[in-house]
Structure 1
Amino acid sequence: MKLQHYLGGLEGLPAPLTFEKRVFVEEWEKRIFGIHVAMMGLSNHLGSSLPRYPIDEVPTAFKDEWTWADLRTGAEAMNPFDYFKFRYYEKWLGGITQFFIDKGYVSEDELAARKEELAAEAAPAVADPVPAIDDQVVDYLRRGDSPRRDVAHPKFAVGDSVRITNVAAAAHTRLPGYLRGRVGTVERIFEGDYAYFTHTGDGIGDPMPIYIVAFDPQDLFGERAEDGPLTIYAELFEAYLEGVR
């Protein structure tokens, strides 16, 4: 994972982290969250994420896939300096906007023109939502989607020692950088084989088992680890594990 997206184990950061307890700090952030949810509810990934989902009947001109993986990929593509400059939902906005530009739904010129209209308070009224689309998004929220594809077919067993791979990071990864090359113990195997809604290029995408792996902080951070009987747990796709001889 690129530096700006995983800071665990790093020292010398410029200031202590502050934890904002409010889910939404400003009203416009709710709209960004809503856009993301609507995109997931209209995404054609639903055709494979739920059995017999009538994807051809979804009433939308949106003909692409959009999942949490796509949202994360958009954020991870940001310039590191921009990443630290913008707030959480500003990163969402940037990723969603770039997705629509890249897919040809809107151009940068059209966005710039719309921005000028809004700044001049001369923007035309937005059309009322299409009821069928509203119904579809509500239906998605009720059904959800699932990456589970089968019962688990694990290569490793509880109690096995495993080494975390150091596979090259692609556009998006679910492997924390501080675990690469470290050895841990399989603590739990989840009940199913799980797909990731996009192929990341570093091994995940197709259905596979997911494990909880336990690590001794001393093995991860050496003398920097805090004292005490502590254990660090990580949920990891099987592609990120290899056996220890």
Structure 2
Amino acid sequence: MNGLHDLGGMQSFGPVPRAQNEPVFRNPWEGRVEAMTMLLLMRGLFGGGGALRLAIESLPPLRYLSDSYYERHLDALEAALVDRTLLSAEEIQLRVERLGAVTTSPLQRERRPAADILKATTAGGGAPSNRRDIDRAPRFALGDAVIAVNAHPHGHTRLPRYVRGRPGMIVRIHPGAVFPDTDARGQGEHPQHVYTVRFDSHDLWGSTAEQNEGIYVGLWERYLEAA
């Protein structure tokens, strides 16, 4: 998907501010969103995680740019839960109205020790791993010259726009892993080998790029073809 989430090489967005001594969570609700995300991932709601990325990338452009990091995650979680009919939009709205209403009686919440919640959630082995054993040998070897395919899928992909159609070199071979493009759409895992590919800065950004610089990108085998 060619969306606003793929900002590599885009201009006019200004510098990225960096806060000194920034806390992990600026507000308590951010920690709760992170906890919900991890719990749902552990329960397999998002498969190998690609479905969550797809939900975030599918947010309306204005919302994606205006939301904070955890606001995007919350919006994506709500959309995914509604899409899977685990919640309805009406139920979420009613909850929002109830939490935002002025009331003298506190909300009744289930209180469970954190250790019990963690034990119940990880009973199946904890967070799922995307690594998979593959019987076939890697298609490429260290030092091979490759080209990133020039593909523009409509769904989730881990192939950045700025490397598509560009030459690179295999510098590392990783274990097999779930293919995110199909996993995100519920079309199966289709595991394949993953490589670290070095792209020369001049091949990506032209003659004005810095000398002797390169960018290293982790790419699945289907994203590559022999040069």
**TM value normalised by structure 2:** 0.85
Among candidates 146, 149, 154, match of residue 129 of structure 2: 146
Task: Out of 192-201 and 206-215, give the one that drifted further.
Answer: 192-201
The alignment status of 1:162 with 2:146, answered yes or no, reads: yes
Q: Is the 8 A contact 2:48 2:183 kept in 1?
A: no
How far residue 139 of structure 1 moved from its aligned partner, in angstroms, is: 4.5
The residue matched to 1:223 in structure 2 has which SS? coil
The residue matched to 1:155 in structure 2 has which SS? coil
Q: Is the 8 A contact 1:153 1:193 kept in 2?
A: no
Q: Is the 8 A contact 2:46 2:52 kept in 1?
A: no
Counterparts of 2:202 and 2:188 in 1: how far apart (Å)?
28
How many equivalent pairs are there? 219
How far residue 92 of structure 1 moved from its aligned partner, in angstroms, is: 0.1
Give the alignment's Cα RMSD to 1 decimal.
2.5
Counterparts of 1:167 and 1:205 in 2: how far apart (Å)?
20
CA offsets 1:8-57 (integer angstroms, 9 cap, x no match): 212222x21123443322111000000011112222xxxxxxxxxxxxxx
Counterparts of 1:9 and 1:204 in 2: how far apart (Å)?
31
Q: Is the 8 A contact 1:149 1:194 kept in 2?
A: yes
The alignment status of 1:37 with 2:38, answered yes or no, reads: yes
CA offsets 1:78-117 (integer angstroms, 9 cap, x no match): 1111111010000000000011111112211222221111
How far residue 67 of structure 1 moved from its aligned partner, in angstroms, is: 4.4
Structure with more contact order per residue of length (Cα contacts < 8 Å, sep ≥ 6): 2
**TM value normalised by structure 1:** 0.80
CA offsets 1:124-176 (integer angstroms, 9 cap, x no match): 31223498654122456x74432222157211111111110112223211011
Aligned position for 1:137: 121
Aligned position for 1:79: 60
Residues 1-245 of structure 1: pairs in structure 2 closer than 5 A: 1-13=1-13, 15-20=14-19, 21-43=22-44, 64-122=45-103, 124-129=107-112, 133-139=117-123, 143-150=126-133, 153-190=137-174, 192-196=175-179, 198-200=182-184, 205-226=189-210, 228-244=211-227
- Structure 2 unpaired stretches of 5+: none
* 2:8 aligned partner, one-letter code: G
* 2:15 aligned partner, one-letter code: P
- Structure 1 unpaired stretches of 5+: 44-63
Query: What percent identity do the matched residue pairs reach?
Result: 32
